[in-house]
Amino acid sequence: MSPEKPQYSAFPWKACPKIMETLIDGAKKHGWRTWQKRDKAFFLEAYLRHHMSMVSGEEIDPESGYPHMWHAAANLLIYIDLESREEAIKLAADIERTKQSTPDFPAPQGFTER
């Protein structure tokens, strides 16, 4: 296996349907993909609420009927996704700044410009 390539076999795929079920329930309540418009701190707080409910001995969320563990996992995945999007936006801005500050040299002899 190449360390540069994603190792998808390491992911716990059997957990996905449970987390997706929780995400769909949230979409019915809050709207489809509205999580993309929220600040990532919202999802860290939601994760902590569900985590603390589990630590306190409450396994099932009384509002949804789903396990707090599923909600906690869904909130962490959303948090990670939003964090990754922020990093991608910053990287794109850095690349654009680099392009603007780099002199535009002509292509060397024998190369065509595209």
What are the structure tokens assigned to 108, written together?
């060397």
H-helix segments, 8-67: 16-30, 40-55
Confidence (pTM): 0.74
* HEC sequence for 57-84: CCCECCCCCCEHHHHHHHHHHHHHHHHH
| Span 16-64, pLDDT tens digits | 999 999 999 999 988 998 888 899 999 999 999 999 999 999 999 999 9
Cα–Cα dist 71/58, whole Å:
13
Return all residues near 61 (Cβ < 8 A) that are at least 6 apart.
50, 53, 67, 68, 71
Return all residues near 67 (Cβ < 8 A) that are at least 6 apart.
59, 60, 61
| Span 6-29, pLDDT tens digits | 888 888 899 999 999 999 999 998
Cα dihedral 59, 45, 40, 30 sign:
positive
